[in-house]
Amino acid sequence: MADAMLGCMNAATWGTLAVSAASAGHGADLIKTQHGAASHAWQTPGGDINGRLRIDAGVDTFPWRALGLFRTNLSPGAIVTWMLGNDTDFLTPVYDSGPLASTVMDGYGQSVHVLPADIQARYAHVDILDTQNPEAFLSVPLVYAGPMIPRARVGLGTGTSHGRDRDELVTRSRAGQDYVTLRSMRRRWTVEFPTLDAEGEFWPGIAEVERVAADGTNVLLIPFPNSVQMPREAVFGRLAASQDAGWPQVNEVRQRSWSGIIVERL
């Protein structure tokens, strides 16, 4: 079984959100936007480095598979705990990740947790403790909480690649020296699936994610869920096909090939 996972059915964008505390103008519903700027973030009051977010999907049968916080100000010392359950107090959780350390890498500001299988529950709940946060408050602009499409059995092709898009201002002195002002930088993946089963993987999976993403809805890509570098490799952002779906095998109507580009949302 191949590794790459994609998800777009995000309960954090349409569910009912509740938080332990929020600073003025930075309530939980800002998470429902598709932008990762700090101005669109849930923020705890100054000095509050212990926060809680609850997502209500509305039904006890909602399938959770991946959970993530993106574009945050969390430090590498942050401790993140995810719980799933059907009661708001989580006295009998369906799933408890326990305290997760080292899920935030310096310079990436994201924490991603993949469940071992689809788990059905109504509520998702995350506790965040970040005693080393240099800003002394928590800022969480983007959250993903929901299912992922079935993994492709053949997996990523050799056309898959990773890079960064840089927006920079370069000023050159009369002596030829370059002075660089970096305005923004976003991570980017080109993903290639050389062989997909049309009925089981392409139409209900890749094609559906592409359709939902057409209006700018963010998509979560986890290229290698078992990798120790997952906190660096996962990208949450805009997805678009890079070419039309193809037929990798002549006269084999049950197979498709597909490639696309996903760019981190800032």
Parse the chain into domains and list their residue ranges.
5-146, 161-264
What pLDDT does 41 receive? 96
What pLDDT does 2 receive? 53
What pLDDT does 1 receive? 38
Q: Which residues of the chain have pLDDT under 70?
A: 1-2, 150-154
Place of tokens 């429902």: 32
Residues making up the chain, counted from first to last: 266
Going along 100-253, which residue ranges are E strands?
A: 111-120, 123-129, 139-140, 142-146, 161-172, 178-197, 219-222, 235-241
What CATH class has 5-146?
mainly beta
> Token pair for residue 72?
């945050």
Using CA atoms, how far apart are residues 40 and 26, in angstroms rounded to an integer?
Answer: 7
Using CA atoms, how far apart are residues 70 and 266, in angstroms rounded to an integer?
Answer: 10
Using CA atoms, how far apart are residues 104 and 102, in angstroms rounded to an integer?
Answer: 6
